[in-house]
Amino acid sequence: MVNLNLAHALLVAADGQPDGFLKVRSVELVREVELMAAAGLVDISVGNPDAEAYTVINRVTPSGQAFLRAFKIQAPQMAELMSAQY
């Protein structure tokens, strides 16, 4: 199940990158990004499974943009704190 607060924070972070790419490294974040990709919110590339796990968000999809717009006025609670952490 996608964590809405974490998904929102990751989408905001990825959308704010000048080149559009966001690399995440922790196991928790990698799993969340994989769930977001399965839900159609982002396009991703998966890192080398033999080394430290990481995933790259290549772009926020139109569905991901719609998710961001839905929370533009009222973001999920704790989203600002989460985005500061990640």
**pLDDT tens digits along 29-52:** 999 999 999 999 999 998 776 677
**CATH number of the domain encompassing residue 22:** 1.10.10
**pLDDT tens digits along 51-84:** 778 899 999 999 999 999 988 766 556 545 444 4
Please state, in angstroms and rounded to a whole number, the distance separating the CA atoms of residues 8 and 5.
5
DSSP code at position 74: S
Q: What is the pLDDT of residue 49?
A: 64
Question: The pTM is what?
Answer: 0.79
Please state, in angstroms and rounded to a whole number, the distance separating the CA atoms of residues 52 and 4.
25
Number of domains in the chain: 1
Question: What SS3 class is residue 34?
Answer: helix
Nearest to 55 by CA among 71, 38, 69, 80: 38
Domain range for 38? 4-85
